[in-house]
Structure 1
Amino acid sequence: MPFTYGGSTAGAAGKVEVIQTYFDTEVKPHVPNAWIDWAKVKTGYEIPFTRHFYRYVPPRPLAEIDADLEKQVAKILGLLREVEG
């Protein structure tokens, strides 16, 4: 995140302010019990949100997907028949 995040003009000197503002704005709404370990904060460190906050949602069963595709194919064929006819 840039040191100017949230309108900060303090630059690198305002690192703590910028990090806290970013955290409160971008992280807390999604993970209310999240916290910052200030002993591990590094300048230029990338936070891999996907790795920490991603929740796997398994795909629908293949039979259900196949049935939906068949419906769409039938609909498309019907529309083509209208155009040709």
Structure 2
Amino acid sequence: MEEKRKMHPNAYAPWSDEGDQLLAERCGQGVPLAELSREFGRNEGGIAARLKKINAVGPAAEEPGNSGETAQVRPFDTASSHL
């Protein structure tokens, strides 16, 4: 965790109501996920999870990987495997 905090000083810190409100506002203003990450000192995964939790609306909340949907995984085909 200490290593992550070097890059993202607020990683794993609790969110405040004011932080949630500002995050929702900035998302609504069209700020991209990477910029929100830098601005809030948190990793993109933490920002994406928080955007989903607070039901934020904006491009960052809709970026790929932040939809809450799980990826489709094809079953492993042992017939075509060359292991």
Whether the TM-score (by the shorter chain) exceeds 0.5 is no
Give the TM-score range, shorter chain.
under 0.3
From the CA coordinates, give the structure whose radius of gyration is larger: 1
Compare the two structures and name the one with the higher helix fraction.
Answer: 1
